[in-house]
Amino acid sequence: MEVVIKETCEQMSKAAAQEVAKTLNAKPNAVLGLPTGSTPLGLYKELVRMHENEGLDFSQVTTFNLDEYAGLKQDHPQSYHYFMQENLFKHINIPRQNIYIPSGTTDNYLAFCQWYEQRIRDCGGIDLQVLGIGSDGHIAFNEPTSSLGSRTRIKTLAKQTIDDNARFFKAGEKVPTYAITMGVGTILEAHRIMLLANGEAKAEAVAGAIEGPVTSMNTASALQLHKDVLFFLDRGAAGKLKMTAYYEWIQANLPGAPAGTG
């Protein structure tokens, strides 16, 4: 596990975008796992800039999104189909047929979830899975007490998650209670994982994920079991870590680190 701490969310997002670019430059037909929510917006903005100004190429890339609300049509402003289209896909040169997002309107959730898992395997697995983290430590929609071996499935959302996401919906509009989500076990099969977190509201969840016990009460803590994980944090999200000085010492002493860092 590698922990990268930046002073601001913007700096964190740019550093994370560089990691995505390295993946695509090394493997132009890479398979990316992508999240939604407020945290990855800075990452997507920087990837769009790199595509437009530096020629970052997505023409051979395949993407799988982590989750989608059950019951929302693709054109609903709060659907994750809509989010991804508006914030990333319509600004880059990714082929439409290479984009996979769970269907919130399927009439057979079980069959769809099995198909989604198989499609990931057919594409060779996910090369780089990008994650955010909920204020209670959940990744994707794997709420506290989710099995750490879980697969893609329909999941009932916790009240905390519904409350956290209510700000994205219009006043009086009901936040969906269910979502389709990749499971923790599905996520852990990615070849490499990168988690982004910003702000003091995420600090306790981040500390639990990195330095706490592996527990289903903080599903992000399962990332401790993976061999290749990067955490990108701003100063606020890193605020409750106990080993900050060690993480920064590591970054300052990596081969090729700029002189005087740390």
How high does pLDDT run on average in the chain? Answer: 95
pLDDT of 190-221, one tens digit each?
Answer: 999 999 999 999 999 999 999 999 999 999 99
Q: Is 33 within 8 Å of 4 (Cβ atoms)?
A: no
pLDDT value of residue 258: 59
Burial of 144 (0-12, 13-18, 19+ CB in 10 A): middle
Cβ atoms within 10 Å, residue 231: 26
* pLDDT above 70 (res 245): yes
Task: Give me the phi and psi of 59, to 5 degrees please.
Answer: -70, -20
* DSSP-H helix ranges across 102-147: 109-122
Q: How many domains does the chain have?
A: 1
Instruction: Tell me the CATH number at 61.
Output: 3.40.50.1360
User: C-alpha angle with apex 98: 105 to 108, nearest 5 degrees?
Assistant: 25
Tell me if 259 is assigned to some domain.
no
Tell me if 207 is assigned to some domain.
yes
pLDDT of 85-94, one tens digit each?
Answer: 999 999 999 9
Could you tell me which of 34, 15, 8, 9 has the C-alpha nearest to residue 251?
15
Tell me if 237 is assigned to some domain.
yes
Tell me if 260 is assigned to some domain.
no
- Which stretch of DSSP H or E encloses residue 40? none
Token pair recorded at residue 43: 């990452």
Catalytic residues, by residue number, are 67, 136, 138, 143
Range of the domain at 46: 2-252
Confidence of residue 69 (pLDDT cuts 50, 70, 90): very high
> How many DSSP H helices and E strands does the chain contain?
8, 10
pTM of the model: 0.94
Tell me if 139 is assigned to some domain.
yes
